[in-house]
Every structure is written in C-alpha cells, then in structure tokens.
Amino acid sequence: MKLPPGISERDFSQATDRMRDIVGKDWLFTSDEDVLLYRDAYSPFLGEPEEYIPSGAVAPNSVEQVQEIVRIANRFKLPLWPVSAGRNLGYGGSAPRLSGTLVLDLKRMNRVLEVNEKLAYAVLEPGVSYFELYRYLREHKLKVWLDCPDPGWGSVIGNALEHGLGSTPYRDHFDAHCGMEVVLANGELMRTGMGALPNAPTWNTFKYGFGPFISAIFGQSNFGIVTKMGMHLMPEPEAAQSVSISVPRREDLIPFVDIMAELTNRRIVDCLWEIASPILQSRDPEVSSLLAKSDFTVLDVENLGRAKSLGYWGTRLWFYGPPKIIDANWGYVQERLALIPGATFALADRFTFPLADPSLAKDDPMTVPNGDALRLSALGIPNMSVFALGAAMRQHGHIFFSPVIPMSAQDLFKAEEVFRGAFKTLGIPWFGLQPFAWYRRNFILLFIFPITEEVSANKVLRANLAKLIRIAADNGWSEYRAPLVLMDDVMNTMSFNHFALPRFLEKIKDAVDPNGILAPGKSGIWPKSLRKVRP
C-alpha cells in the first residue's frame, strides 16, 4: 500500500478505523483489489513505480459524514482526494495527484434534491450522473433538458467543477452552475451566492449573490468539497435542427471563421461547432492517393474537392427553439456565409419535442449505435457511444492536450504552423488540428494521444507533452484543463509578474487548508508542507 508522505502506518490505520466507524465497514476500502478500482485506467505511468496510486477510498453518504471525515483527516493530516463519479478519464480518472492520498468517493450521495421546471434548474448531490438526472427528468415528465458531455456516466457536478463541456446552448457546464454547498477543509459547511442567506429562494437562480463571486474558486481547485450544487437546465425546445456547411478553398477559412465567430458571439449560432475538413478527412481512394503524393498543392486538393463535392472546410450546427426562429436563424447564417463564393448549405435532421422517434428515446441510451452518439448528446440524451471509437482503434487509453486559442483564422493558421513544426521536431505523426468552438470567442484545439502498454513509449509521450505545453506557452496559449501528470507543467507557465497568480492561489490554500489535506497538487496548487520551489 502507498501511504502519503509523513503518515505512519499506525496513523493511517487509526484514521481509517475512525472513518470506518462513521461510514460503516462496507464503505472504507484499502484492499489492493478495491484500490485497483480507484487507479487511473488511462494512467500514462502504466507499469511504472511513479504511478499516482491512492492508499484507499472512503465513501460517505451524507454531508455530515463528509464533515466528520474531514475532521479526522485534519487530526491525522491524512490527505483526501474528492471525486464525484470519478470518471475523469483522459485527465486522471479517480486517481489523486499525490500517491497515498485517500480518495473521498461521493458517488453514494446521488440524490436529485429538486428540479424546478418553471425556472429550469436542478439541485443535485455530487454522485448524480448524467444518466441518473436524465432518467429522473424522463420519469417525472419534466420539460427541461440537461446538457451532457460525450460520456454519460460522469457526474454533473464533477464535470462542471472540471470546467467540462457539452454541445447545446448550456454546453459550458461551470457557467451553468448556480449556488454551491461546500465542506471546507476544517469541516465547516458553507453555501455560496444567495445560499448564504438562510432560506433564500434565489440560491439556485441568482449565482453571484452579494460580494465576491466565490463559487469560482471551487472549480479546478483544492479549496473545498462540493456537496450540493444548483445547475441551470435548458427548457425543452419545440424543435432541434442540424445543418451542415462547407466552403471550397483553404483561404476561405479566414472569412468563414470571422463570420462564424460573429454569429456565435451574437448567439445566432449557439451550439458546439467544430472545424473539420471534408476533403482532407475523406476516405475516398482518389483523395488518399493525392494526399500520399509528396508534391501535391493546395490547388490540387481544392480542385479534387470541387470535383467530389467535398469542401476544404466544413462544420455542422444545431439550432434549437420554435421552428420559425430556427428557420430565421438558419436563413440569416446562410445569407452571411453565402458571401464566400462556393459555400454550400445542407439541412440534416430535424426533431420535434416531445420526441416522437422512439429509437432515440429508448430506455437504455448506452446501446445506441456509434454514429448516433453526437446526435444524442446534441439532443441532451446521455450515452456512452464515444468509447466505441477508442475500442475500435484498439487503444489502451488516451490523454488529452487541449490548448485554447482565440477564435480567428489567423490564430488557427499560426497554431497549425507551430504545432506541425513541434510535432515534426518531436517525431510525432501530424494528424492536423481539431478546433472545437465550445467557448465563445475561443477554439479549444483537442489533441488526443494514445496511452500504450509500453513503458518506454509512455515515457516519451510524457516528455513530449511537457514540451508541447512549453511551446504553447511561448506562443501565449495554455490549456482549459489538464491531466494530473501535466498540472504542475501548466501552472508553472503562469509566470506573469513573478508567478503572482500561483503565489496568490498558494496563499489561499495555506489560509483555508493549513494542514494541506484537500487534494494536494490539484491544478499545481500544493500545500506549504509539500511545495517545491517554482522554476
């Protein structure tokens, strides 16, 4: 068993014995077999002694139990790593950043405490998954939608705290939260926003409350354990329409992104959209043989694209709302993009609600075929189809590198040049950019690297990722979220004015958690006792 630094076996067993008394013997886990379940299945340290491994896990089922556990952890200075569903695959799973940390598994606290249909919000405990909330809304025939990320098994709260993302107008999950209840590092209970006012009916409707907007500091941090959260939901629209758009020339990216950015900022387009290249991503044999040549030109690609009716760039959008508003928005989008010669527009699926198509509303959304995954998520239906893609590629797992750049074509071209060059230097095959318009005014460039069972390949991957973070930072770009293994690397790039921000975060950490028991190392924030000198 791995113990945290400075904790003796005697102290560990005394602390866990007391916790067992609180939660009951079935909910404190220290056997190797149980701990295995809390390891990161996609760990980039697979088979290496450095793997981040917890000492065990404790699973309370009430706020009072969480408070008691935190008090015991303080007495023994035993660090805790809170997870809600613990499905943070690609970013660390449910493993802690510091080996030996005890996982505080909140999965059993999975009550939907309230859903207000009129004002479209829910109040949840951390263990409520997207599947569970979806089933609750369906069973109670409530006309509100949740917005889900690709995997439906995650926690609505855990995902939001990680700044996770989905696909509808409510895709920015942290932005959609409203009002938290937090167990602080000393075991005290606090409510944020209007929750500070006893019995305030606005706790889950008005998120700022009075004074500083303090909920923000509990996202991607280690300052408290969130035990309840309000989430704004989307009132069920009358209809949803998907459409696709393409433009024929590489240089069209400039007006295309400019117009799409403006339409997105005006919320005429209000969904996740991605820039794809129908021609470069085509599996057509003629396209493949052209791209395999060493001397093909952009003009060759554009001409072949025209012949095959495949755009150089393309995207897919969803519109939601009353049909006449959908039609008006789509009409305006076409009017604006028609300024680009050769732009094409196509209508795809239209759904009306409540859903008439029983195949999309079936009880077990986990069984839908692959191709439906994106469509289901866009309709607020959680599913697990995205995992079939990894399985099809026979990967052990993967890790994300996800820098954020401004939403402009010039920045995209620059990022393409910088990362293509970096990949070449590092000996990584270039697979192109995947820009996702999750946040307004920005693209997230999602790079997905496979984790293998080969230790040497994983070592090279880790070194390469650290270098990519540095290269991105040298160009002014950083990540929206980082896997455990890269958290320090990312925080160590935040060097403005002698690391003023990391130093401020450390001051907060020392003030609110003097014993350093909450998630040491989360987002590169370490308690005093474990802090290394900044580079």
Ligand X SMILES: Cc1cc2nc3c(=O)[nH]c(=O)nc-3n(C[C@H](O)[C@H](O)[C@H](O)COP(=O)(O)OP(=O)(O)OC[C@H]3O[C@@H](n4cnc5c(N)ncnc54)[C@H](O)[C@@H]3O)c2cc1C
Judge contact between 219 and 161, C-beta under 8 A: yes
Closest CA to 258 of 319, 330, 340: 340
Residue 418 or 517 with smaller CB distance to ligand X: 517
Judge contact between 167 and 271, C-beta under 8 A: yes
Span from 44-52, 87-95, 367-375, 490-498 in contact with ligand X (CB under 6 A): 87-95
Closest CA to 180 of 60, 61, 84: 84
One residue of 35, 59, 83, 399 binding ligand X per CB under 6 A = 83
Report if residue 171 touches ligand X, rule: CB under 6 A: no
Tokens encoding 395: 């990967």
Among residues 91, 134, 170, 439, the one annotated as catalytic is 91
Report if residue 274 touches ligand X, rule: CB under 6 A: no
Residue 82 or 195 with smaller CB distance to ligand X: 82
What is d(CA 329, CA 345) in angstroms, rounded to the nearest whole number?
13
One residue of 100, 126, 248, 403 binding ligand X per CB under 6 A = 126
CB of 106 to ligand X, least distance (A): 5
* Contacts with ligand X, 503-522, as mask; x by CB under 6 A: ----------------x--x
Span from 15-23, 63-71, 89-97, 347-355 in contact with ligand X (CB under 6 A): 89-97
CB of 107 to ligand X, least distance (A): 8
Span from 17-25, 161-169, 294-302, 342-350 in contact with ligand X (CB under 6 A): 161-169
Residue 94 or 241 with smaller CB distance to ligand X: 94
91 is a catalytic site residue = yes
CB of 22 to ligand X, least distance (A): 18
Residue 321 or 380 with smaller CB distance to ligand X: 380
Report if residue 159 touches ligand X, rule: CB under 6 A: yes
One residue of 60, 100, 158, 311 binding ligand X per CB under 6 A = 158
Judge contact between 431 and 438, C-beta under 8 A: no
Q: Which residues does 514 contact at the CB level (< 8 Å), separation at least 6?
A: 185, 527, 528
Residue 223 or 313 with smaller CB distance to ligand X: 223
Instruction: Please provide the size of the chain in residues.
Output: 535
Report if residue 185 touches ligand X, rule: CB under 6 A: no
What count of other Cβ atoms lies within 10 Å of the Cβ of residue 446?
A: 16
CB of 330 to ligand X, least distance (A): 25
Tokens encoding 412: 């995209």
Report if residue 230 touches ligand X, rule: CB under 6 A: no
Judge contact between 360 and 376, C-beta under 8 A: yes
Report if residue 67 touches ligand X, rule: CB under 6 A: no
One residue of 165, 176, 374, 381 binding ligand X per CB under 6 A = 165
Among residues 171, 249, 250, 481, the one annotated as catalytic is 481
Read out DSSP for 79-112?
A: -EEEESS---TTTTTT--SSTTPEEEE-TT---E
Contacting ligand X within 379-398 (CB under 6 A): 386-387, 390
Return the bridge partners of 436, or none.
274, 444
Return the bridge partners of 228, or none.
181
Return the bridge partners of 102, or none.
56, 80
Q: Which residues does 322 contact at the CB level (< 8 Å), separation at least 6?
A: 237, 238, 239
Residue 150 or 489 with smaller CB distance to ligand X: 150
Residue 190 or 268 with smaller CB distance to ligand X: 190
CA distances from 87 to 28, 93, 352, 389 (A): 19, 5, 32, 17
Kindly state the number of chain residues that form the binding site for ligand X, as judged by CB under 6 A.
32
250 is a catalytic site residue = no
One residue of 39, 87, 191, 509 binding ligand X per CB under 6 A = 87
Tokens encoding 141: 């025939």
Report if residue 464 touches ligand X, rule: CB under 6 A: no
Read out DSSP for 467-495?
A: HHHHHHHHTT-EESS--GGGHHHHHTT--
Helix (H) or strand (E) segment spanning residue 183: strand 177-183
Tokens encoding 372: 């439906």
One residue of 4, 79, 164, 237 binding ligand X per CB under 6 A = 164
| Active site residues per annotation | 91, 480-481
Contacts with ligand X, residue ranges (CB under 6 A):
82-91, 94, 106, 126, 149-151, 154-155, 157-159, 161-162, 164-165, 225-226, 386-387, 390, 519, 522
